[in-house]
Every structure is written in C-alpha cells, then in structure tokens.
Structure 1
Amino acid sequence: MFFSVAWLRLPLAVSLLLPALARAHEDSLFTSSVTYCAPPEEILVQQFDVAYFAANSSVSFNISAASVLPNLNVSATLYINVYGMQPLNLTIDICSLFSGALCPLPMYNFTGWDSIPLPSSLDVASRLPGIAYVIPDLEAFAQLTLTEVGTDQVKACVQSTLSNGWSTHQRAVEWTTAAMALLALLGSIWQSVMMDALALMPVRLLDLVYLYQTIAASGLLGLNYPVVYRAFTLNFAWALGLFAAGPSSHVQHSINSMRHLTGGQLADASSGGAVPLVNRKMSPYNVPESANTFLAPAALPRVRLAEGLLARASAAGSAVRVGGDVATVTPESANVLAPGIPIFVNSIGIATANAFVTVFLVGLVYAAVVLAALALAYGAAVALGRTRKGRDSDKLAEFRQEYPAWARAWGLRAASVCVVPVLVFSFYQWTLKDSWLSVLLSVITLLTIAGIVLYSYYLVIRSVVRARSSSTAPAPPPSTVPLTAPYAPHRAWYGALLLAAVLVKALVTAFGSATGLAQAVVFLATDVLVFAALVVLKPYRTRRADVLMGFLAAVRMVASGLLIAFAQSLSLKPIPRVVIGIITAIIFSVAVLVMFFNVFVNMGLWRLLCDALCCARRRRAGDRALASNPSHGSDPSILEKGGASPVSGASGEGEAYREQQ
C-alpha cells in the first residue's frame, strides 16, 4: 500500500533543502493539469479544478461543462492513482448534486463551484498519509468518468494530475546557479588579465558549466524519469540555452511561423505543458499494465453527497462553449510526447521542433555579447593606455600586446561552452525531418563550432606529437590555452578524449531516444572509461586537480548507473524510481556545492572570509581583555605615582590588537 513510502522521509528531507522551499504550506492536493481520456463528443468539459484539504477533509471544486445530447442521465466514477496505487475508487450519485440540476445534464454551459466536507465513511485521511502533502513533484492523478445510467456506456472521461505545491524545480535554484556561473566568469576574466596563462579560475569556469550541462543532459534520455528528477534537471536547462517560455512568448511564436513557412509540420507547444501529453504508462500517471482505460462503475461503492451540500451553480447561456487548451489523450492518440527531449523541452514551454532553433537564437545573442565584451575590453585597454598611469603601466602594455591571443582564447572558451547543446540539438533536429531551414541552420552551426574547436585540438595534438619527437618543438599557440592549461604538458591531448566522450553522448542522446536502456548503458560505459583513463593517466597539473576531476567523473559515473533504473523495459515500481531519482539529484547537488566551494576558494573569497572572521575574533578577544582589566578598579595612588598596573601587559596587548585592526 501507499504507506510503504514512509521510509522516503529521510532522503526527502534532504532533497527539500535543494530548492529552498522554506515557506508556509497547507496540506492540500489540487489540480495541476487536465486532459480528456475519451473524445469529447457527448459531454464537453471546459474547466475541471478540484482541491482536497486535509485539515477539514473537504473538497473544493470548480466545474464548467455541458452536454450536447438531450435527456442524458449519468453517474460519476472518481478514481485516484498515487504512485501506481489506487487509494480512492468510488461512484458518486450525480442526481444528488446541485439539487438535481444535473439530471438530466443541461444542454448549456453549466458552471458549479463550492467546498464540501467529505463523508466520514470515505475515510480519505487514512488513505492519503501525510507524506503525500510534502513530497516534491507528487505523482498522482484523478480520473472522472461519466457513464450513462442504465447502459453503463462511457459518455465522458477527464483526467487531472494532482500537485501538493512542492517541486524541485525552483526559480531560486536557477538564479543561484546562474549567479555562481557569472561570479566564476568575472573571476576568470580578472585572473586571465592579472595573472599568467595558467590561471585556475578560467579552467574551473568551464568545469562548472560542464557540470550544469551534464545535469541537464541527464534528463534528455528516453527514460521513464520520476517527475521529481525531471523537475530537478530543468533547473539547469538554461545551461543548454533553453529558457522557459510562456504561451504568449513572441520568440516561440516567431519560430513556429518560420517552421511552418519552411515545410515544418510538427505540432507547436501545448499551453498546458508536457504533463497532459505524457504516455499514461509513465510518470506521473503510472497506470498499471493490467489497468483498464475506463473503470466499470457497477462494482464500486456509491456515495451520495446531497446532505449538507450548498453548491452554487449557474447557466452561462444557451450556446455550448468549450474553452482552454484541453488535450485528448487515449491509448490510440498520436499526440503523446515521446520520452526524452520532447518531454524535457515541452515542460518549459518549448515545442519539440523548436528546440534547436531556440538554442540557435540564444547562441546568436550569446555570440553578440561575447564579441561586444571582447571589443569593450580592447577599447578599455586603449583608453587606459592614453592616461598618464596607463602609459607607465607595464602590465597594461603587456596586455595590449597579447590581446589578440587573449581574445582568441576567450573565443575558444565561449565556443567550448556551446559544444554540448549544439551537438545534441543539431543531431536531434536531423531526426525530426521538419523545417528545411531549421536543418540548414543546424548544419551551419555545427560546422562553425566544429571548425573552431576541432582546429584548436588539432594544434594542441600536433604540438604534443612534435614535442615527443623533438625537444625543441614549439609549444601550442597561446590561443589554445583553454585546452592545455588544465593538463600536464605531456597530457595536453587528454581534452580530446573528453571531447570524444561528449560526442558519443550527444549521438546517443539524439539518435537513440527509442531505446532508453541502451542510452543509459552507453552513458555508463562512457563515464566508466573516462574515469578509468583519469585514474591511470593522472593528466592534470596537480594532485588536487586530479582528485577534484576524479570526484566529478565518479559523480557522472554513479549518476549514469542510477539512470538505468529509469528504463521503461525494466518496469521498476514508481516508489523505488522516485527514491533513486531523489538520490541522483542529491548526488548532483553535492557536486554543485563542491564546485561552488572550489570557485570561492580559487577566487580568493574564502581566504578573505576567513581573514575577516579571524580578525573579528581577534577584535572581540581584545575587547574582552580590556573589559576584564582590573586596573580601573585598583588604587588610584599607584597610577598617580607612575606605578605599573599588575595587568599592564594585558592592557598593552589589548591596545595593540585595537591599533592593528
């Protein structure tokens, strides 16, 4: 039964720390999305919002519906699925609602709303344990089936996913991670100007961004992810160039128009998000394989809610109107989103066919910002060089002389950041066979990034090969510093191995979405090989760097191994999948925290913080020494005669501390 999820409380408590969800929260379950589970031919539902409040075991609802058939009497079957289990399954006597206003169903828009206490005989509180109200990204849905009285024919079916208000996808997490990346960027720029080519912050900047991209990319596979983990990976979607878009997004509407004008036939994003279009066998629905689409109401308990019900109802007019973007999803539907990239991008309001073009447009803005920043840096150097201090500054003169190589190095870093999203979404665009313009742009973008990055790797590998055959071989060009700085000189080629691993993962992500298990296995094998190569070769310049990179490689390897549990073919139960999803999110979160701390240390902020704390302790110690000095209470005649106080040394030390601060 659902009580078995109680052992989730410890990992759940830890996972709740990740999105910083500290706010007042009322124990309740409410509608988060609505879909038809049968074609709306005889009964049309415009709105179906339901909320259950645990405090008083009451249900609030807001229903807007209409019938297109005369003299239609129906009964309602309410079915609730929580993590694949059915804590509630009952039939409601429709004729007892609204003083019989729904028997027969009215042939106009009927709207009803109220909050009613549930009969104690239902005992809903015991069926829904307390953890259902606090676990993030609850996987539950309610199904309302209307069957004709007498014939038991299904006349309408509506499914609503339920939420408790908690989620691991939080705007605060997105802004925090982005702010840390921005801070690392500023520190990297400062160190690359003020220090030598082996400055550590530019290296850690790329490591941090690659960690973000790894987390986001782990949600792109064709797996049956628990909602809690998919929501966690969405916090890092911005690192792939994907930013959440609403139904009124002008950018997405422009991309839709461009696609349709250039041969695109795929659907636009649904205003309801991705959840309504998820296959019913997958999260958050978790419908058992043996379950029927519609439940036979005859064998279910019937409940009359007429007693104490003071519902409010209104007729909106004689014409039947159906509003909203309510999708119809049945076992025969062709609009169900495939697992992997389609569900990931539609979860943030981006259509499947718009994914690459969105990344492309973000990349154009990104390239413009990078070029403008490089131009601004050169302009600032020229302007400072014309000042009196600038003309006397050897450091500024050296920077202006080395600016071309410095700018090319930063251009290479900027291109390296784009490798993962460009590879994944360019390859995936080719599988869609949609707009020819989107395909053309993907080819151009891929060739541009490949030309910049691959040529730089060619220069590095050529220098390493020549160095092995001749001790007088020239060093790699200064513009390739981003590829050589992290590694020992004789291991400078190691970056090419990491690039090959990224390429393999991108190919598998884009072209292997039909076999999620194979994708996860290839990810695991790739990460195992990378980890083994790191342990054997020890390619980095220092032992500390080897340890840090080994830790990150181990995190990727363990996370890839855990992803295998999400394969649809394994049919793992929902609760174990949620546990594994939370554990994987925690592992990645620890890695992010480690990188945060590393960035603070390498920027020197940790030392400043420690110095500030130590100075504060010294100041407080000096104040306490002064406060405990008994000289003020000694015989004043001794001081008048120039005698020394018994604790004059302590007093002097206190004054010395104060003078030093």
Structure 2
Amino acid sequence: MFVARLRQFAPLLLGLSSLVSARDDSLFTSSVTYCSEPDALLIQQFDVAYFQKNSSIWFNISAASVQPNVSVSANILLNVYGMHPVNFTLDLCSLFNGALCPLPTYNFTGSDSIPLPSSLGVSDKIPGITFQIPDLEAYVQLSLTDVSTGELKACVQATLSNGWSAHQVAVEWATGALGLLALLSAIWYSLSPEALAPYRLFDLFYLFQWAASTALLNLNYSSVYRAFATNFSWAMGLFPASATSPIQLSINNMRHLTGGNMADATSGSAVALVNRKLSPYNAAVSASSVGAGYQTAGIGVESLVALPNLTSANYVSPTFAGSIQELSTAGTVQLVTSSSDNVLQAGVPIYVNSVGIATANAFMTIFLVALMLLAILLAALAVGYGILVLASRRSQGKVNRYLEWKQQYPAFARAWLLRVCLVAFTPVTIFALYQWTLKDSWLAILLSVILFLALVGYILYPSFITLRLAIRSTPYALYTQPGHLTSHGPLFALYRSERYYASIPLLVAIFLKAIFTAFAQANGEVQVILILIVECGVLASLLILRPHKTRRADVLATYLAITRVVCTGLLIAFVESLNLAAIPRVAIGIVIAVIISVAVIVMFFNTLVNLGLMKLILPARFRRRNQTSDESILEKGGDAEDIAGRPRNPTPERNIPLDPTVNQPYPDSPSQVTADEHSTYSEESGSTTLGSLLPRRWSFQPSQPPSHSRTPSQSQYSPTNASSPRQSIPPSPLYPQSQSHSRQPTIDEHSPMAF
C-alpha cells in the first residue's frame, strides 16, 4: 500500500529532477560599474555569461565610443577572492587588422553566443568549485589606456556570479512561517498562565533579529554571510523591496521635502556600490595603477585573433536558453571611485541596500511596519472584545463565564501590547538611534524620537510597577495577583519568583548593543569587542541566576546565549585591520551561518513542543501501557468483566463516618501540630481521622491504618516525617479538594515536557 502511494509522486519527482539537471554550470555578470570617469567609452548595458558545458560565451552589450582618434591598450584583470589568476594587457591596434585602432566612434549594440577555441584552455583554468560555491567573490576589470599619453580613458568593473546564493526566498518564507506558527501558538495558549508558548515567541523573534543584527557592524563580512543574514531582514521590519516600491517612493518624497539629501535606493544590484576594499572586491587594484598591467603567457594575441567575427548572426544554443533568461541585467551603470559619495560602507548601508532599501529609508520603513503591526493588533483586540460582549449578553441568566473573561480582557490586551513592544524593541532601538547619526530629514528624526520614547516608556512602566510591588511586598506577590500577572507577566512570569528580575539583563543588553551598533560605526573592532563583552555578561547572568522554573528552560536559554557568544567571537575575523584572507573569511562566515541555522532548528522543535505536540504522543503511550496491564490481568486468570467493569473512582462498600476535624483549617506552623490531634481508624470504632498536616503543598501522605505490631513512634506524626521526601499520589474521595490551599498553577507543575 505504501509503495503504491509513492507511485503517485513519481511524476512530480521526475519533473523536479529535470529542473535540477537543466541547470548548467555558468558564470555571468551580476553588476557593472565605472571605476573611473568615463572619457572615451560609454556603457549602457553589459551582460556576459560563460557556460562551462561547451566553453561558450553569451553577451549582450550596448556601448559607445565618443572620442575620435583614440588608440588604446586594454588591461584585463580577474580578481577571485583577492587573488589575480588573470592579469594581462592587449594592444588593440594589433587585433582585427587594426579595426579597433583608433576606436571607432559609433554606438555598438549586440547580442551573440560565441564558442571559445579549445586552444585557450579556459575550462581547464576554472576549477569546478567556482560554479558551486554560493555568493562567489569575483569580478573582471577592463581598463583602456591611451597608447601615446598613458592616460586612462575608461575603466569598467563587472562582478561575477554563478547563480548560487545563501540568500534564498524559500528560507525567508520558512522562517516567516515558523514565526507565524509561534505567533498562533502564543495566541492560543496566552489564556493559560502555565503555558510557555507566549514567552517563547519573544525568544524566537529575538533569535531572528539577532542573526540579522550581526551583519550591521562595520566589518568586512564575506559575501556568503552577508547574504545569509539578509534572510532574517523581515524580522527587523525590513521586508525586501525595490526602488520603485510605492512605500519606498513615498518615503523618498517625504525625506526630500523635509531636508533629506541622501541618495535613494539604486535600481540595480547593491553590490555595484560596495566599497572596493570590502567583499566581493577585496582590495581591488586602484584605477590609477591598472594601466601598467603585467603580461602573462596564459592567453596570447594569436588566440584572440582566432575568435569568430563579432558581427555574426545572433544565435543562442537551446541548451543555454533557459539559463540566459535567468541572467539579471546590470541596470544603470554607476560611477564608483574612492571619492564618490554613493559608495556603500560596511554595516547598515550595505545590509539595507542589499534588500532594496536606501540607507536613509531604513528607519522610516520600520516605522511604517510598526504602525501596521499596531493597527493589526488593535483591530484584533477590538474584534475579540466585541465577541466577548455579544457572548456575555446572550448568556444572561446562566453561568456567565464570558462576563468574567470580559473583566479580564483589558489585562489580556495590555499583555499582548507589551509582547509586541518587546518584539519590536531590537529593530526600533537600533535604527532609531542610527537615524540620529544620519542627520538627513528632520521629520524622520522627529518620528524616530517619538517611536523610541513610546516604546521604551511602555516597557519601563510595567517594569517599574513590577519592581515596586516586589520590593514593597514580596516577589511571590507578583504571581498571586491575577491582574498584575496577566497584564505584566511577559516580563517575569517565565522565571522563578526569587528571580523575577531576570529579564532586566537581556533588555539592558539589547539597548547597549543598539548603542554600539548605531554610534560606533566608525570602528568595527570596537563594536564587536563591546558587543562580545555584553553577550558574555548575559551568559554569566544565566549561569549564576538560573532563573527559569525548569532545568530544561535554563538549558535552552543558556544554549542560545552560548550561540550568541560564539558567533560574536567569530565575527572578530571580519575586522578589517586583521587583513584576513578572503577564503578563510568565507569559511568562517559559513561556520557562523551553520551555527545560527542549528539554533533556528532547535527553536523550531521547541515551538512544536510548546504547541502541544507531546500531548498527542504521551496519551498514546499511556493507552499502550494500560492495554499491557489489562492483558497481564487476563493472563493471570482474571475475567474480562474485571477489566471492563472496574469503576474509575471506586467507593467503599459501606459508608465510613469522617472525623469532624477533617475540614478544620491547617495550623500556621508544624510546631502547632501534636500527635494527640491525630487519631486512627479501626473497624471496631468505625471512625477515622484524616486531618494530618501536609508537609508541603501538592504533597500527600496517606494515613496508615493501625497495626498491633506498630510501635508508638510509627503511629504518631513527627516533624521528622514531615521533612521526608514528598510522595505524590492522585487525589481520592478521602482527600477532598477543599483541604488544599488554592494557588495559581505554575509552569513546572503542569508543563513538565515544555521548556
């Protein structure tokens, strides 16, 4: 049956395999920029692709030569992870019978596919890993130098890509789905004070936000890690956009009308504007020194003369047709030099522009997302309150439980508003403080101050009330007042009563890291060292306080803190002053990405556990255990009626009179209990006394029936017995529920499987 079902999926698997096999190993241009002022050559479009399968090149070029009587030599430089495997200079006057000397002054627009001669040996010079490694750090530089004067006439840089990247839309959707699942779980269990799902919502989103924030420092990240970190940009409120997005265009207009003069987002790839000292350029050769290129024996002029005529008919092999459609054009060719003001520096500028958002638009994007989130929250709370009002009116005259829920609803709404503020605390703090350093638009700065003060104020006020109540009364009072526990519980309900303040170190750490990220952008080394000290402090607080109610919760929090410490420590390898080679930086970036991915997977399973997955598994075990015990009874000669007819709550065959002292309140202390207050039951008297003092709450010790062989010390209650290990037994009719003190259930009593 199972094999038959698999046959239904065979066509789908075959379809997917055809898609995978259709992808050919290729290299193509991902961005094009001028590396010097265009003088003799203007480029509108420059798309080039190399296919390994048959060593062919496809190009789509639109360029123009604008100066007459210019004879130039061409220097071609290939930079791969900071290495220069190709660097040679050609005299264009010796090519094509002098057709390119001087440069013809006309527009050239063409697209063609050209097979390269085998004599070039290009396929042997490119290792196979070049087509598989994600976010390839390579570019080609073409420099045209005047033969007579040595003046640089044109310089063009084109970054290369193989189509593989650590930034995947599927990862964004998967992490977003996990966040949505955690949100729905938190909403479902938010009415239960012992459920952990509402508290794990902040832990999950903080993990996503921290992963994104690690790429906001002034460090020379490897391209693969920077691309990986953009998978979590949505958790910061930075949803991928385009330069023509209505929201981004509106923000641009607002900034420019209120004194903003910073550049908008580019329509092309942000990689084209990256500082040339950073990945993927890795300290490229300056434009002033490229004219004197070095001759290499790898490629000769005679091989280039053997190339087909560039004016041949446009032809694209059907094998490459699908791959060519995937090529992205370079867009508008930007001018990027050491003196350009549009260069993207490391940290926030490169990160936000990588997702299509201008540097000056980052905070306003988060501001609008925060307003949308607040509107959705208020609308959902209003709908929930309306449903409760209608339900309470319809149930008049009956046991109106909806009326009680209606009275508790304001506290429930304040708790969810506090949770949303905690989730938004990291991105708002980082980008609001960073907006103050830009000095771009006075309206954007004003809105950042308002949002920052409102958010911090709403978090500080319940924190102050909680601390005041704990100091004036006792920490245990925080957990015995239902109104305070419901409304302000997201700050302390996760922890033990004596560790109610355990959330303060984490909130202070978030604020300090935001300050370092925003105000220490000039020095990445200082940023990473200070943040590492803060992360170590958070880890130390967890190890010393052990604040959670269960050991599993402490282990999970400690594991996440260790993950943050280890990854932050590895970020030191990206400090520019260390001048670490590109390949080791790529390896370290992949290691950090793997560590963060493992943490995300751990939180995924934690979300499933808190969702109640274990509750679906445990009852099945209990059913199998009961079935096994029933079968053992049958094997011992028992009748089936003994199994089917057993009452779940057996009652004695005759009524046993109870001692009237049973319902007496418990004494205040164990010292007030004496052995004379306890009597024993005997069949002759038909009386019993069950008022023995419980050593601790939720701990029951059944009274022992009298025995003639029992010694006096065994038949009396002693304080020594009260300190013995507690033995939990299920309640029975002999131990009515009214005897135990009522109290608020805690997490570790009702959720042993959650952590």
TM-score by length of 1: 0.84
Q: Verify: 1:448 aligned to 2:464, yes or no.
A: no
Residue 244 in 1 paired to residue 240 in 2?
yes
Cα distance in 1 for residues equivalent to 2:478 and 2:65: 87
Q: For 2:588 and 2:201, how far apart are their aligned partners in 1?
A: 29
> What is the letter of the counterpart of residue 217 of structure 1?
S
> Cα offset for 1:362?
0.9
Per-residue displacement from partner, 1:114-144 (whole Å, max 9, x unpaired)?
Answer: 2223344443333321111111111111111
1:81-120 matches, cutoff 5 A: 81-92=79-90, 94=92, 102-120=100-118
Alignment of 1:599 with 2:598, yes or no, is no
CA distance in 2, matches of 1:221, 1:332: 22
- Find the counterpart in structure 1 of residue 370 from structure 2: 363
Q: How far does the alpha carbon of each residue in 1:469-489 deviate from its partner, in whole angstroms, 9 at most, with x for none?
A: 998997545310111121111
Amino acid at match of 1:234: T
Q: 1:292 offset after TM fit, Å?
A: 6.4
Counterpart check, 1:334 vs 2:333: no
| TM superposition shift of 1:71 | 2.4
How well do the aligned residues superpose, as a CA RMSD in angstroms? Answer: 3.1
Partner residue in 2 for 1:555? 563
Name the counterpart of 1:436: 442
Aligned to 2:194: 198
> 1: distance between equivalents of 2:621 and 2:305?
67
Which whole-Å deviations, capped at 9, do the CAs of 1:10-55 have from their partners, x for residues lacking one? xxxxxxxxxxx97853211100001001111221111111111111
| Helix, strand or coil at the partner of 2:306 | coil
Partner of 1:267: 263
Could you tell me how far 1:79 is from its partner in structure 2? 1.2
In 1, distance between residues paired with 2:623 and 2:30?
Answer: 52
Partner of 2:185: 187
What does residue 169 of structure 2 align with? 171
Q: Distance in 2 between matches of 1:252 and 1:472?
A: 45
Aligned equivalent of 2:724: none
Query: 8 Å contact 2:41–2:153 — kept in the other structure?
Result: yes
Moved more, 278-287 or 104-113: 104-113
1:296 — aligned with what? 292
Residue 227 (structure 1) aligns with: 223
1:410 aligns with 2:416: yes
The residue type equivalent to 2:456 in the other structure is A
Q: 1:218 aligns with which of 214, 221, 234?
A: 214
- Shift, 1:451, TM fit: 1.1
Aligned position for 1:460:
466
The answer to whether residue 48 in structure 2 is matched with residue 50 in structure 1 is yes
**In 2 relative to 1, CA 540–202 (structure 1 residues): closer, same or farther, beyond 3 Å?**
same
Query: Separation in 2 of the partners of 1:550 and 1:149?
Result: 66
Residue of structure 2 equivalent to 1:306: 305
> For 2:359, which of 352, 357, 372 is the aligned residue?
352
Q: Distance in 2 between matches of 1:343 and 1:251?
A: 20
Alpha-carbon displacement from aligned partner over 1:96-122 (angstroms, at most 9, x marks no partner): 878865443332321133222334444
Distance of aligned partners of 1:491 and 1:136 in 2 relative to their CA distance in 1, 3 Å threshold:
same
2:372 equivalent to 1:376 = no
Give 1:559's aligned amino acid.
C
User: Which position in structure 1 is the counterpart of 2:527?
Assistant: 519
Unaligned runs of 5+ in 2: 1-18, 314-329, 625-639, 645-755
CA distance 1:328–1:614, change in 2 (3 Å): farther
* Distance in 1 (alpha carbons) for counterparts of 2:259 and 2:562: 44
The residue type paired with residue 273 of structure 1 is S
Deviations 1:150-171 (A, max 9, x none): 4443211100111010011111
For structure 1, which segment, 97-106 or 478-487, has the greater mean C-alpha deviation from structure 2 after superposition?
Answer: 97-106
Helix, strand or coil at the partner of 2:212: helix
- Per-residue deviation at 1:401? 2.1
Tell me if structure 2 keeps the 8 A contact 1:540–1:546. Answer: yes
Q: Secondary structure at the match of 1:142?
A: strand
Distance in 1 (alpha carbons) for counterparts of 2:21 and 2:564: 32
Q: CA deviation at 1:606?
A: 5.2
- Equivalent residues of 1:464, 1:490 under 8 A apart: no
- The answer as to whether partners of 2:145 and 2:291 remain within 8 angstroms in 1 is no
1:419 aligns with 2:417: no
Verify the 8 A CA contact 1:98 1:310 in the aligned structure 2: no
Q: Quote the offset at 1:72 in angstroms.
A: 2.2
Identical-pair percentage: 55
Q: Which amino acid aligns with 1:267?
A: A
User: Given residue 272 of structure 1, which amino acid in structure 2 is its aligned partner?
Assistant: G
Q: 1:236 is paired with a residue of what secondary structure?
A: helix
Q: 1:483 aligns with which of 464, 486, 491?
A: 491
Structure having the higher Rg: 2
Q: Which residue of 1 aligns with 2:590?
A: 582
For 2:190, what is the secondary structure of its paired residue? helix
Match for 2:60: what amino acid? Answer: N
Q: Distance in 1 between matches of 2:71 and 2:397?
A: 91
Residue 93 of structure 1: how far off its partner (Å): 5.5
Instruction: Count how many residue pairs are aligned between Structure 1 and Structure 2.
Output: 591
User: What is the deviation of 1:380?
Assistant: 2.2
3-state SS of 1:146 partner: strand
Report the equivalent of 2:141: 143
1:311 corresponds to which letter in structure 2?
Answer: L
Compare 541-550 and 247-256 and name the one that shifted more: 247-256
1:457 Cα deviation after fit: 1.1
Alignment pair present for 1:495 and 2:503: yes
Structure scoring higher RCO (CA < 8 A, sep ≥ 6) equals 1
The 3-state SS of whatever aligns with 1:312 is: coil
**Distance in 1 (alpha carbons) for counterparts of 2:135 and 2:398:** 61
Q: What amino acid sits opposite 2:258 in the alignment? A: T
Amino acid at match of 1:451: G
Unpaired runs of at least 5, structure 1: 1-20, 315-322, 617-651, 657-661
Aligned to 1:619: none
Equivalent position SS for 2:305: coil
3-state SS, counterpart of residue 220 of structure 1:
coil
State how far apart, in whole Å, the 2-side matches of 1:261 and 1:150 are. Answer: 50
Distance verdict in 2 for CA 1:393–1:291, change over 3 Å = farther
Q: Displacement, 1:555? A: 0.4
Give the 3 Å change call, closer, same or farther, for CA 157–379 of structure 1 in structure 2.
same
SS in 2 for 1:541: coil
Partner of 2:126: 128
- Give the equivalent residue in structure 2 for 1:65: 63
Q: After TM superposition, give the deviation of residue 245 of structure 1 in Å.
A: 1.2
1:256 paired to 2:264? no
In the superposition, relative to structure 1, how do residues 612 and 156 fare at CA in structure 2: closer, same or farther (>3 Å)?
farther
Aligned AA (2:74)? A
Structure 1 pair 512–391 and aligned structure 2 pair: CA distance change class (3 A): farther
Per-residue deviation, 1:303: 2.8
Give 1:271's aligned amino acid.
S
The equivalent of 1:401 in structure 2 is 407
The one-letter code sitting in structure 1 at the alignment partner of 2:205 is V
Partner SS, residue 361 of structure 1: helix
Change (3 A) 1:150 1:457: same
Query: Secondary structure, in 3 states, of the residue corresponding to 2:583?
Result: helix
Closer, same or farther: CA 469–184 of 1 in aligned 2, 3 Å:
closer
Classify the secondary structure of the residue corresponding to 1:79: strand
Match in the other structure for 1:645: none
Q: Given residue 198 of structure 1, which amino acid in structure 2 is its aligned partner? A: E
Question: How much does 1:262 deviate?
Answer: 0.7
The one-letter code of the counterpart of 2:81 is Y
TM-score, structure 2 as length reference: 0.73
Tell me, what secondary structure is at the counterpart of 1:534?
A: helix
Distance of 1:394 and 1:215 partners within structure 2: 47
